[in-house]
């Protein structure tokens, strides 16, 4: 990749990363002002004075409504005010310590577990350019227990369950957005990011992410979210399995040639052989509104920029709705529709995902979605470490190995969440 292209892309990535954090700060200012860090105190204010331990108590109507002229609270405080008090599932137990989002009795996460899981999320996303959001979701939903807690409020306090669900979605996207920014820089330096393709995907992602969050924020209960999450991932796994069949492989001659050319050069480097005469790297030959042509290690590629733009809109909308990055759909799209080898799909997907994450997170936060900043901060450290290591180790894994990792994870997680969300049956691990 030419130095001018790298400088231009570096500016884009840095701008998007800066927009994420500036946008978050602006979103916090735009959200209803309140003491969001202390929802437990708000819950205490509406708790009835006389309630025997273990009794299921619902706040009085007067307590559930803000006093006339009082400042309106954020969505979390409003939902807590309406939630019943007691020790049963689906109730707020004010006698227990505050956990996730400062809610009394909500799950508390072991910091070491949170850090290690974030490293894993960063590694898998930066290695294959996808599945980071899915793995972040698995961590927040199953490993940390936020999913079961949110699901318990479906009948007793549906508003609270929806607020927690939106917070889980935003938490997933913070992790993926950070990993996407780091991965984009790393793949850029290695010459494994197709800038015109990433721009086309990114523009579509911006539109899709904004539209999906505008329509779905605050309206999805956890069980439905989990079921749809599982359905999308299962469909992905089935599609990836199909792509391993001889019929599907026969249609991917270009991607195979590029992957083999790249692997051959890596082998020569490892053996200390001369690379003289080898066509190395990514070279953009032509880019217009109608066509883009480039070569990767001497193998030619060509596509219509309109196709990835449309794909970006659809994929990013689905990803924002699910609270994931979208790489788990973008990578199959890139490897199937545009015939990119996995080595290019990972970096190209990462930049497009970053655009979608910036848009989605800001949209959610402007609607008052609460964030557990202490947990996010710890996870971002782990994400950073995993994202730095991923691109370095990815060149030692074959295209086939990376795809098999996708298939196994997709099928198991998809079936597990589909059954848990729509049928109420849980399988181990999810």
Rounded distance between C-alpha atoms, residue 166 and residue 159, angstroms:
11
pLDDT at position 108 is 94
Q: Look over the chain and give the mean of its residue pLDDT values, rounded to a whole number.
A: 76
Beta strands in 291-346 (DSSP E): 292-296, 299-303
- pLDDT score of 378 more than 90: yes
Classify residue 397 by its DSSP letter: S
Residue 100: closest CA among 374, 430, 362, 365:
374
Question: 288-323 burial string, b = 16+ CB within 10 Å, else e?
Answer: eeeebebbbbebebebebebbbebbbebbbbbbbbb
pLDDT digits (tens, 9 = 90+) for 280-298: 667 777 878 778 787 777 7
Mean pLDDT throughout 22-30? 47
Residue of higher predicted confidence among 244 and 54: 244
Residue of higher predicted confidence among 250 and 388: 388
CB atoms within 10 A of CB 157: 22
- pLDDT score of 21 more than 50: no
Q: Is the pTM of this model over 0.85?
A: no
**37 three-class SS:** coil
pLDDT at position 53 is 47
Stretch (H or E) spanning 332: helix 327-336
Mean pLDDT throughout 154-178? 91
In SS3 terms, 198-256 reads as HHHHHHHHHHHHHHHHHHHCCCCCHHHHHHHHHHHHHHHHHHHHHHCCHHHHCCCHHHH
Of all residues in the chain, the percent with pLDDT exceeding 90 is 20
pLDDT digits (tens, 9 = 90+) for 122-148: 888 777 666 777 888 889 998 999 999
pLDDT at position 244 is 73
pLDDT at position 33 is 42
- pLDDT score of 7 more than 60: no
Residue 421: closest CA among 138, 183, 221:
221
pLDDT at position 13 is 52
- pLDDT score of 28 more than 50: no
Rounded distance between C-alpha atoms, residue 83 and residue 85, angstroms:
7
pLDDT at position 152 is 93
Confidence of residue 261 (pLDDT cuts 50, 70, 90): low
- pLDDT score of 150 more than 80: yes
């Amino acid at each position: 990749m030419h130095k001018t292209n790298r400088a231009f892309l570096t500016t884009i990535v840095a701008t998007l990363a800066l927009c994420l954090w500036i946008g978050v700060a602006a979103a916090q200012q735009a959200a209803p002002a309140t003491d969001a860090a202390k929802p437990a105190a708000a819950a205490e204010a509406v708790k009835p004075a006389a309630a025997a331990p273990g009794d299921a108590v619902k706040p009085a109507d007067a307590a559930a409504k803000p006093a006339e002229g009082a400042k309106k609270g954020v969505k979390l405080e409003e939902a807590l005010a309406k939630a019943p008090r007691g020790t049963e599932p689906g109730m707020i137990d004010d006698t227990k310590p505050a956990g996730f989002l400062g809610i009394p009795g909500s799950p508390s996460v072991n910091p070491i577990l949170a850090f290690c899981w974030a490293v894993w999320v960063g590694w898998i996303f930066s290695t294959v350019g996808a599945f980071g959001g899915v793995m972040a979701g698995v961590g927040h939903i199953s490993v940390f227990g936020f999913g079961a807690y949110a699901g318990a409020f479906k009948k007793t306090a549906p508003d609270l369950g929806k607020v927690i669900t939106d917070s889980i979605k935003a938490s997933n996207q913070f992790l993926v957005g950070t990993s996407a920014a780091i991965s984009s820089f790393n793949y850029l330096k290695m010459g494994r990011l197709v800038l015109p393709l990433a721009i086309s995907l990114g523009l579509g992602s911006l539109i899709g992410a904004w539209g999906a969050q505008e329509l779905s924020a605050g309206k999805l209960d956890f069980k439905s979210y989990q079921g749809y999450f599982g359905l999308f991932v299962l469909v992905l796994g089935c599609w990836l399995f199909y792509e391993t069949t001889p019929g599907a492989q026969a249609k991917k001659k270009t991607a195979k040639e590029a992957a083999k050319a790249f692997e051959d050069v890596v082998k020569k480097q490892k053996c200390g052989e001369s690379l003289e005469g080898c066509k190395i790297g990514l070279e953009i030959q032509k880019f217009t509104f109608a066509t883009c042509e480039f070569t990767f290690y001497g193998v030619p590629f060509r596509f219509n920029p309109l196709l990835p733009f449309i794909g970006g809109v659809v994929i990013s909308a689905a990803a924002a709705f699910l609270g994931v990055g979208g790489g788990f759909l973008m990578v199959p799209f890139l490897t199937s529709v545009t015939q990119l080898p996995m080595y290019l799909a990972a970096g190209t997907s990462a930049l497009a995902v970053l655009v979608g994450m910036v848009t989605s997170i800001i949209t959610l936060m402007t609607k008052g979605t609460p964030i557990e900043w202490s947990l996010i901060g710890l996870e971002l450290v782990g994400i950073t470490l995993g994202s730095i290591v991923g691109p370095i180790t990815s060149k030692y894994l074959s295209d086939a190995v990376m795809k098999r990792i996708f298939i196994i994870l997709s099928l198991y997680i998809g079936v597990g969440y589909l059954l848990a969300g729509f049928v109420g049956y849980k399988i181990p691990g999810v």
